[in-house]
Amino acid sequence: MTELRSNWNYPTAVRFGAGRITELADACRALGMTKPLLVTDPGIAGLPMVADAVLANDDAGLPTGLYADVKPNPLGSNVDDGLAVYRDGGHDGVIAFGGGSAMDTGKLIAFMSGQTRPLWDFEDVGDNWSLADADGIAPIVAVPTTSGTGSEVGRAAVATDESSHTKKILFHPKMLPGIVICDPALVTGLPPNLTAWTGMDALAHCLEAYCAPGYHPMADGIAVEGLRLIREWLPRAVADGSDLEARAHMMSAAAMGATAFQKGLGAIHSLSHPVGSVYDTHHGLTNAVFMPYVLVFNRAAIAERMERLARWLGFANASFDAVLEWTLELRETFEIAHTAGELGVEAGRLETLAEMAAADPTAPTNPVPVGPEEMRTMYEAAMEGRL
């Protein structure tokens, strides 16, 4: 019975459905905001959805500022700059509006708004989170405009430390947004390639959470249903971005992946994080490239789980190979690169990347123990396209 012990946490209040963005001002007020800062990225900042949200808040008596200097792989300096805007503007809450980069940056600005220690003191190592002044964390409303990271229901955020070129995960329970508005109508303009890449990110979250060791049957159940939704609806969302039903189910699957991965992630993310920080690649795309190589490496430890998953997904052949073939078929359908070299990864840097991957906080929950040597083995397989 000693193995049947764990800590379980679940998401926050979610307002789900097309058109729910009209409730943004009400959500801000419910969390006590009077002057929120909307944090987004440059690609979204000029779109009507952002202008409409700011105008609607202003009309509702909630003057709303805007910060949009966020990189696709957000930097610590993006958080620092946003924090200066937050403080200079006298804001009292954050609207994290956009994809994973804007979401994470917004959450970190809210988190840091009342802290005196530097950002990296709160890296998700040991009990660093307890160093934070919990009362100094500003309220957050999250509005996702992609269906991948699920950061809207997460208690952590990722940013790159420019001094070491490493992605770092920062965690605090109060970084979880107080209210989430999931409006699938906001995602309809996402291009097919980004729809595919973010969808593969959601797939990686569900898949790694399901495979992670430990006792968490609730997370397992959420993960496998998320995978079923992805199998049925991601191809439809990529083929027709205006398909609101497909967009809604993928928005659910993304939130489910982030809910499930409190159980843990694994080497897909461990390999992906260093590549993203060094080569500035899209996170979901990078996960998709490394996915099959990690599955093959972990095969002995996850084969039985993959058989159960294959039955749940309705594959005629309930086996590990059926799940592996499905991921490969998705990559081919979405024209995703097969090798790490196609992402720009250089063979001469594999040793350094392997060390970084082994140190990544997602590595300890890989189903098979991994260190630099094992990470190097998977990187080499990915460079050669060898399964």
3 assigned to some structural domain:
no
104 assigned to some structural domain:
yes
The count of structural domains within the chain is 2
Same-domain check for residues 40 and 165? yes
Same-domain check for residues 362 and 326? yes
Same-domain check for residues 95 and 236? no
**Which of residues 166, 187, 208 is at a domain's end?**
187
Same-domain check for residues 228 and 370? yes
Per-residue confidence of the chain (387 residues) as pLDDT tens digits?
556 665 666 788 999 999 999 999 999 999 999 999 999 999 999 999 999 999 999 999 999 999 999 998 899 999 999 999 999 999 999 999 999 999 999 999 999 999 999 999 999 888 999 999 999 999 999 999 999 999 999 999 999 998 888 889 999 999 999 999 999 999 999 999 999 999 999 999 999 999 999 999 999 999 999 999 999 999 999 999 999 999 999 999 999 999 999 999 999 999 999 999 999 999 999 999 999 999 999 999 999 999 999 999 999 999 999 999 999 999 999 999 999 999 999 999 999 999 999 999 999 999 999 999 999 999 999 999 999
Check which CATH number belongs to the domain holding 46 and give it: 3.40.50.1970
State the residue range of the domain holding 276: 192-384
Same-domain check for residues 172 and 196? no
Same-domain check for residues 221 and 149? no
Same-domain check for residues 125 and 210? no
Check which CATH number belongs to the domain holding 373 and give it: 1.20.1090.10
**Which of residues 161, 187, 213 is at a domain's end?**
187
Same-domain check for residues 209 and 153? no
- Per 3-state DSSP, the chain is made up of helix, strand and coil in percentages (nearest 5) of 60, 10, 30
58: left (phi over 0), alpha (psi -120 to 50) or beta: alpha
C-alpha 155/C-alpha 176 separation (Å) is: 4
The β-bridge relationship of strands 140-144 and 166-171 is: unpaired
**Which of residues 187, 211, 245 is at a domain's end?**
187
